[in-house]
């Protein structure tokens, strides 16, 4: 929930990015967004039965 992130934590993240990258004069904008769904890695989606074409 982006609205639940406290402004001081956002400032902390920006300062950490600046320190790690050396971007002292570059404006940094954080875009926090809510998750849209769960991504399950490693599971393959089932393939629909396809008609086998013979030539």
Q: For the chain of 55 residues, list the mean pLDDT of each consecutive stretch of 10.
A: 91 94 91 80 64 57
Asked, for residue 24, whether it belongs to a domain, the answer is: yes
Is 21 within a domain? yes
Residue 1 lies in domain: 1-31
Counted domains in the chain: 1
State residue 2's pLDDT score.
Answer: 85
Burial 27-52 (b: 16+ CB within 10 A, else e): eeeeeeeeeeeeeeeeeeeeeeeeee
CA distance 42 to 44: 6
The pLDDT, as a whole number, for residue 7 is 93
Determine contact, residues 30/13, Cβ cutoff 8 Å: yes
* Model pLDDT, residue 13: 95
Beta carbons of 35 and 2 less than 8 angstroms apart: no
Can you tell me the distance from the alpha carbon of 5 to that of 9, in angstroms, rounded to the nearest whole number?
7
């Amino acid at each position: 929930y982006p609205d639940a992130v406290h402004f001081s934590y956002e400032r902390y993240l920006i300062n950490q990015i600046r320190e790690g990258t050396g971007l002292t004069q570059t404006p940094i904008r954080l875009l926090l967004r809510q998750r849209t769904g769960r991504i399950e890695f490693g599971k393959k989606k089932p393939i629909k039965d396809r008609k086998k074409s013979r030539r």
